[in-house]
Chains A and B, each alone.
Chain A
Amino acid sequence: MVRTSRRTFLHQASLATVLAGVPAWALTEAGSAMASSGASNGTLTVVLNPEPPTLVSFANTGGTCVTASSKVLEGLLEYDHDLTPRPQLATSWSVSPDGLTYEFKLRENVKWHDGKPFTAADAAFSILLSRRYHPRGTATFANLDAAEAVDATTLRLRLAKPAPYLLLALSAGETPILPSHLYEADTAVQNPLNARPIGTGPFRFREWERGSHIIYERNPDYWQPGKPQVETLLFRIVPDIAARLNGFRNGSLDIGESSPIPLSEIPNLDKYPHLATTTKGYADNAVVTALEFNLEREVLAKHEVRRAIAHALDREQIRKIAFYGFAVPTVAPIVKSSFPRFHLDAEDPYPYDIRKANELLDAAGYPRQGGGHRLGLTLHANPFNEGFRRTAHYVRSALARIGIDVTVREQDPGSYVRSVYNEREFDMTVSGVSTMFDPTVGLQRVYWSKSFNPKVPFSNANRYHNPEVDRLLEAAAIEPDVEKRAELFKRFQEIVIREIPTIALVQLQSVTVFNRRVDGFSKTASGLRGNIADVHFAQA
């Protein structure tokens, strides 16, 4: 019997561990093109953070979900940077004069990735699915009575009341068109295809290794011949911000949207001639940073106190400090860049004026006491964007100058939603509201008294209730005439700019960072979050 002595065993064991742990660095000649798969001409490497939970965006519309979904699943329409609709799966459309009937002519000879033909039945099915499961779908398609496939290439929608924003709600990310022959309405959310989607888009799903990457490959049967001009789309999931920055520097990442690197680093990108940035491609998702007040608190229910706070804030400072210059100050909650016709070009009725702020607080019955302290308030910072946090800290130091002691609460997403929307234990919050593609869809929920609901996040957090505002918003929601609608929105903005239940501060700008060899990705209002069929490598 062979007895292994302890000596031999330990000897062999240490040899084994050394072999397992060490040799790679001795073989550096094997590590040639370190930029791994990004160097090959056919692969576009997109950085994603955080990892999307599913690859289909009809029920979950978190940012990266939309980015991943819109390459495989398309929408009926796409939009220019000024939100003018253009054909995608629908080639033409008409709206009846009373705004109650929509007819879409759909593209012919489009095939799903599994070879079956795309028909109007698929479009009808997808719209009804959106109405049922989409976080905004119940609102967007609330007035929808019926969606029917008149024939294989004609879709008709019948509405109970007009919905002037409906035509803008049909982008790939917002209302993806799903294959009705592979989905059941009742089990759609748990369908395993949500993790390996089948669509009509320029790219097909190939592989998803959770935590690491998603691979899409070119669809050779895409209905736009010759497109896409990229062989493989590789989504890398990189959770660490420093790692993303390094990835761009060393060329292993080609493109990333929604500010993938710290805003403070963007001026330093000059040192890397192969990198460039753009703020285009976010017109359908305009986010306004706002300071929201909980109007159920006695202090903040007083208009003078809110005015005093408004006088103490300098939007230019917020633009520079909190957003490193990547923001546009705005007084009106409907921004000019996305909605030039609805935007109210108003002067700030409460400009930066510390003296005035102090006077107002004195008059409101909050004199300075010992230590210059008037009152204390809590401020919750929305954790979904770093800029909100920095704005909250700016607000704290700004209000300190008028004697208000602000305690900033920074929480993780789950706790934030609970504190502000469920428990409502907040005085003020710095939050961002996206107007999305239409003020009725994005903005109404913040000001409309009927959307107040403690169980639903991002509804009316301040508990604002103004019957005139309600009337204006409800009228604008069903007004088909653009001019009249613009008039309603402008009057609405006049009121809320004066009453400031929330103070609109700045419109934040998202930045897309990209390698100069990539082009053709920001042709639409959705930018990289669209189907990027036009993307290609600028050949040198």
Chain B
Amino acid sequence: MDLPIVATDSAPAVARPPGRFMPAVRRTLRQAIPTVLGILVLNFALLQMVPGDVVDVMAGESGGATMESMRALREQFGLAGSIGERLVAYLGNLATLDLGVSPRYNAPVAELILDRLPNTLFLVVSGLAVAIVVGVLVGVAMATWAGRLPDRALSLVNLLLYATPGFCIGLMLILLFSVKLGWLPANGHATIGVTLAGGDWLLDRLRYALLPIVTLATFFIAVYGRLTRAAMLEVRQQDFVRTARAKGLAPSRVMFRHVLRNALMPITTMAGLHFAALFGGAAVTETLFGWPGLGRLTLDAVMTRDFNLLLGILLLSSLLVVVVNMLVDLLQLWLDPRIQAR
């Protein structure tokens, strides 16, 4: 028989104020457009300050060129004209959803990006998911046995994972699993030249993805582990936890249902930020494993001064960041009924 104090494990009998989520969505959309526009203009201006343009690079790669060929290329790629003219032209194209053509690859920017986007999304989302699950579990373990041997040991492992650079871990994993043991492939994202379907396809992709995902996740496991531990230790001291324990609930139920759920707030915030950072910043992992993703494409675009491509990627990234932050806001609203969206 339930005690008069109402447990909070199911949706409260009192309905939440209606439309709690809508204001958040509306606010995000109101802020999104100026944010994205601002990012584009700022980056456009910054890119103009970088020395050299794509025609210079193409001529350099070819080991030489002639005045005529370079001038012809510049005209074709819309690189003649003042900065203002070019910016207006670019924004005008954007209004018709035309991201332009990359002069170096001779292909539409949208196509180049969409080719690589699923690969990067897969890598980043899986990496973060693994990091969150493992990190949270590690953090829970550290918090449960805080101060004792398991906590000390896990903290040490945590520190090692945090301090070792990603490419170092990646290289060590390749050496062990690929070169020495030969269990996993070291490069690429799929077996080339065979068409697989269904379960075979999934298995093949997972084999190639495993090492890059682990490499990407290790740093964040350390981050989420520490965060969870700190947050849980703080929440554990709250009154309602004492009440729950006094009620006679099992320790694991207290730990997971009451303490952890309240400690998830900082984690979701950080995960949102990390997703944004990882999106273009997985370049190191992608280069190490030859993973055809957006990080490498961005790096190439910067080195070869391919501004059309770069602006297209920046536009996409900023949009994704805005969307993800909105989702994180909504997630937090849902997790914690006490929060009111302004």
Given A5-B9, A215-B192, A415-B51, do A20 and B126 touch, yes or no (CB 8 Å)? Answer: yes
Question: Is A378's CB within 8 Å of the partner chain B?
Answer: no
Chain-B contact segment, one of A98-106, A243-251, A312-320, A354-362: A243-251
Chain-A contact segment, one of B21-29, B146-154, B291-299: B291-299
Chain-B contact segment, one of A25-33, A85-93, A335-343: A25-33
Query: Do B213 and A36 have beta carbons less than 8 Å apart?
Result: no
- Chain B residues with Cβ below 8 Å from A14 are 133
CA distance A238 to B192 in the complex (A): 14
Query: Do A457 and B207 have beta carbons less than 8 Å apart?
Result: no
Contact of B116 among A211, A236, A246, A247 (CB under 8 A): A211
Shortest CB-to-CB span from A426 to chain B, Å, is: 13
Contact of A211 among B50, B297, B305 (CB under 8 A): B297
Query: Do A239 and B290 have beta carbons less than 8 Å apart?
Result: yes
Question: Is B94's CB within 8 Å of the partner chain A?
Answer: no
Given A28-B183, A211-B292, A243-B186, do A417 and B57 touch, yes or no (CB 8 Å)? Answer: yes
Given A209-B292, A412-B303, do A418 and B186 touch, yes or no (CB 8 Å)? Answer: no
Chain-B contact segment, one of A53-61, A70-78, A501-509: A53-61
CA distance A215 to B60 in the complex (A): 27
Question: Is B130's CB within 8 Å of the partner chain A?
Answer: yes
Question: Is B10's CB within 8 Å of the partner chain A?
Answer: yes
Question: Is B70's CB within 8 Å of the partner chain A?
Answer: yes
Q: Which residues of chain A from 441 to 471 have a CB within 8 Å of any chain B CB?
A: 445, 453, 455-459
Given A135-B64, A412-B303, A418-B52, do A238 and B187 touch, yes or no (CB 8 Å)? Answer: yes
Query: Do A457 and B179 have beta carbons less than 8 Å apart?
Result: no
- Chain A residues with Cβ below 8 Å from B85 are none
CA distance A209 to B130 in the complex (A): 28
CA distance A3 to B67 in the complex (A): 71
Question: Is B144's CB within 8 Å of the partner chain A?
Answer: no
Per-residue 0/1 for B104-148: is the Cβ within 8 Å of any A Cβ (1 yes, 0 no)? Answer: 111100001001100100000010011011000000000000000
Which chain A residue shows the least CB distance to B305? A414
Contact of B56 among A20, A61, A247, A418 (CB under 8 A): A418
Which of A54, A63, A419, A456 has the most chain B CB atoms inside 10 A of its CB?
A456
Question: Is A158's CB within 8 Å of the partner chain B?
Answer: no
Per-residue 0/1 for B258-300: is the Cβ within 8 Å of any A Cβ (1 yes, 0 no)? Answer: 0001000000000000000000000000011110110011001
Interface of chain B, helix or strand or loop or mixed? helix
Chain-B contact segment, one of A188-196, A489-497, A516-524: A188-196
- Chain B residues with Cβ below 8 Å from A271 are none
Given A7-B257, A250-B179, do A212 and B67 touch, yes or no (CB 8 Å)? Answer: no
Question: Is A372's CB within 8 Å of the partner chain B?
Answer: no
Query: Do A21 and B106 have beta carbons less than 8 Å apart?
Result: no
- Chain B residues with Cβ below 8 Å from A17 are 129-130, 132-133
Q: Which residues of chain A from 188 to 240 have a CB within 8 Å of any chain B CB?
A: 189-190, 194-195, 209-213, 215, 232, 234, 236-240
Contacts A/B (CB < 8 Å), 21 sampled: A5-B9, A31-B183, A31-B207, A36-B192, A37-B191, A37-B194, A50-B300, A54-B106, A138-B69, A210-B105, A211-B292, A239-B296, A240-B288, A240-B290, A246-B187, A252-B186, A413-B52, A414-B52, A417-B56, A419-B51, A422-B56
- Report B's interface with A, CB cutoff 8 A: 9-11, 50-54, 56-70, 73, 76, 104-107, 112, 115-116, 119, 126, 129-130, 132-133, 171, 174-175, 178-179, 182-194, 203, 206-207, 209-210, 213, 257, 261, 287-290, 292-293, 296-297, 300, 303-305, 335
Q: Which 4 residue pairs spanning A and B have beta carbons closest together?
A: A211-B292, A414-B52, A62-B61, A24-B206
